[in-house]
Structure 1
Amino acid sequence: MKYLLVLAVLMVAFWIWRNNRIGPREAPPPAPKAPALRKPTQMVACLECGTHLPQGEAVMGPHGAYCSAEHRQLGEDRAA
């Protein structure tokens, strides 16, 4: 039994000696930079159904913005 205790003490001493011998650890590499955020875009509502969508994706008609070419055609037919 005393040999097991001596072995355990030696293993703990070796573990402490090994960890202290390595020295200071290297700093972790810096985290990758987050991609630049895009600026918010203007949101517009479809004149036919009221769906909100980015202005860049809207189909523009003579009366305003629509969500699709089909809604633009419906809106133009009603206005005429």
Structure 2
Amino acid sequence: MKYLLVLAVVIIAIWLWRKGRQEELRSRPPPPQPPRPAVGAPTEMVRCDHCGLHLPATDAVRGNAGRIYCSAAHRKAAEEQG
């Protein structure tokens, strides 16, 4: 019988402790949100005149007469074709 009494006291103590913890957590202000990473400006996209691949203008290779290619190999291949 005394074990039941001790068990009841322990259960009530745990319940009271958890109830106090939950109220403390609810009353706390929410943590600040981390800042969002800055998004860069959009980049102009161009099309390779040899294979049709779209790529950023900063990565493009310029050829004769202002033509645009995705690589030096495609520029060379297009110039060899005529």
Identity of aligned residues (%): 36
Give the residue type in structure 1 aligned to 2:34.
P
Question: How many angstroms apart in 2 are the aligned matches of 1:14 and 1:69?
Answer: 76
Q: 1:40: which partner in 2?
A: 42
Q: 1:4: which partner in 2?
A: 3
Q: 1:78: which partner in 2?
A: 81
Q: Which residue among 56, 60, 63 is the counterpart of 2:62?
A: 60
1:16 paired with 2:15, answer yes
Give the residue type in structure 2 aligned to 1:18.
W
Give the residue type in structure 2 aligned to 1:5.
L
Question: How many angstroms apart in 2 are the aligned matches of 1:57 and 1:28?
Answer: 44
> Any unmatched runs of 5+ in structure 2?
none
Question: How many angstroms apart in 2 are the aligned matches of 1:3 and 1:13?
Answer: 15
Question: How many angstroms apart in 2 are the aligned matches of 1:9 and 1:22?
Answer: 21
> Any unmatched runs of 5+ in structure 1?
none
Flag as ranges the 4+ runs of structure 1 deviating above 4 A: none
CA shift at 1:54, angstroms?
A: 1.3
TM-score normalized by the length of structure 2: 0.69
**What is the count of residue pairs matched by the alignment?**
78
